[in-house]
Amino acid sequence: MPTIAVLGTFDTKGRELEFLAEVIRQRGHRTLLVDVGTFAPADARPDIGRVEVAQAGGTDLTALAAQQDRGVCVAAMAEAAPRWLAPLAASGRIQGVIALGGGGGTAIGTAAMRALPIGFPKVMVSTLASGDTRPYLGTQDIVMFPSIVDVAGLNRISRLLFTRAAGAICGMVEVEPPAASDRALVVASCFGNTTACVTEARRVLEAQGYEVLVFHATGTGGRTMEALIESGLVAGVLDITTTEWADELVGGILGAGPHRLEAAAKAQVPAIVTPGCLDMVNFGEPQTVPTRFRGRRFYPHNPQVTLMRTTPEECAELGRILAEKVNAYRAPVTVLIPRQAISVISAPGQVFHDPDADTALFNSLKRHLRSDLPVREFDAAINDPVFARACADCLLENMRIADRPRPNRL
């Protein structure tokens, strides 16, 4: 019988957490109620008290609460909760976790969940389950469940939503995960504008016995892919879509941070890199585009996403950045350039076609790249099957080279 941890601040949300636990128990599962509150006494009885949780983080809860600083208390519990919860999951004492809360409870609950492995069932019922949830989710598979009303009392709406959330975590722990594959892993970066390329390259790699994990280059996707590469679980990197650097440089909404493209160097993993979708910067709805970009070339990808074309000056800097990142690679790496188009909409006749910007990008990339690193140029668009197969073939060759015995060096 699975045990589900029910985590929250029992000084303010005790009755709500007890209701959640009771629904879970009615489904036939055990619960472990965990208090991460700090101020008032608990208004319901947890199985694990706040003092025990705080001690896992090396915190004296009495001294902490005496400060009467809510921000300090939330931060301390957000540090302690992961250290307490992760060993329970690793040892098999719990099979899932659900938490509920407002701002403080969400910060603590999701901090605990981010310490758990991908695939471990985790649900956060939150007043903040809309807008920018990146600080709470990180690169983890946390299900954010909107509370709709404030988590403050039981009423016809909260009972309905808490019951549905309890059903979600029960369903997650009841389903047996599929058996893990023993095939070597390749990771790939993808965007809608490079899907055809990634799909064909993936087909070639899978035919050679590799399992290919595709990550959507939306900032979070790039960071997640980098984390997996750095973990040492990856045999090769098919980095076809480096677009997140355009957002990072220019100020779009899908940047992956300044360390994107660094993990393959750190983990010494064979790779291929292309300038896929560096023609575009992502914003939200048209009215959200900063006024400083007035007069630029835009394309409405959908009602919620507005794309902006990168300029020759921005492209030259992007070429330099890509080269700087790739120059740090020590495992075999190949840079491939599709001279006809780096996305669907940069092809001749399309809205983002700009030969001057593309030339600035390609020339800068080649000029700043280490002279010993191979560059292959193709008179083709990025989604041309010829280019896609070349990406896969180059990665296969780089992985073969990496597996060869290295000569002894005096």
| pLDDT score of 409 more than 60 | no
Please state, in angstroms and rounded to a whole number, the distance separating the CA atoms of residues 50 and 142: 23
390 found inside a domain: yes
89 Cβ contact partners less than 8 Å away, ≥ 6 residues apart: 97, 116, 117, 120
In this predicted structure, what is the pLDDT of residue 223? 94
268 found inside a domain: yes
360 found inside a domain: yes
- When pLDDT is averaged across residues 364-386 and rounded to a whole number, the result is 98
| pLDDT score of 244 more than 70 | yes
* Same domain assignment for residues 193 and 169: no
In this predicted structure, what is the pLDDT of residue 341? 98
282 Cβ contact partners less than 8 Å away, ≥ 6 residues apart: 247, 252, 253, 254, 301, 305, 306, 307, 308
* Same domain assignment for residues 205 and 290: yes
Question: Does the reported pTM lie above 0.75?
Answer: yes
410 found inside a domain: no
CA distances from 117 to 68, 89, 262 (A): 34, 9, 22
In this predicted structure, what is the pLDDT of residue 406? 44
* Same domain assignment for residues 108 and 45: yes
* Same domain assignment for residues 73 and 210: no
409 found inside a domain: no
Which carries the bigger pLDDT value, residue 230 or residue 240?
240
Q: For residue 170, which of 90, 96, 99, 85 has the smallest C-alpha distance?
A: 96
Q: Which domain holds residue 398?
A: 185-403
Specify the range with the lowest mean pLDDT, choosing from 121-130, 234-243, 307-316, 371-380: 121-130
Q: Which stretch, 65-69, 75-79, 196-200, has highest mean pLDDT?
A: 196-200
* pLDDT tens for each residue of 101-152: 999 999 999 999 999 988 899 999 999 988 788 888 888 899 999 999 988 8
pLDDT class of 404 with cuts at 50, 70, 90: low
- When pLDDT is averaged across residues 208-234 and rounded to a whole number, the result is 93
* Same domain assignment for residues 208 and 163: no
- When pLDDT is averaged across residues 51-62 and rounded to a whole number, the result is 83
Give the rounded percent of residues in the chain with a pLDDT score beyond 70. 98
* Same domain assignment for residues 232 and 83: no
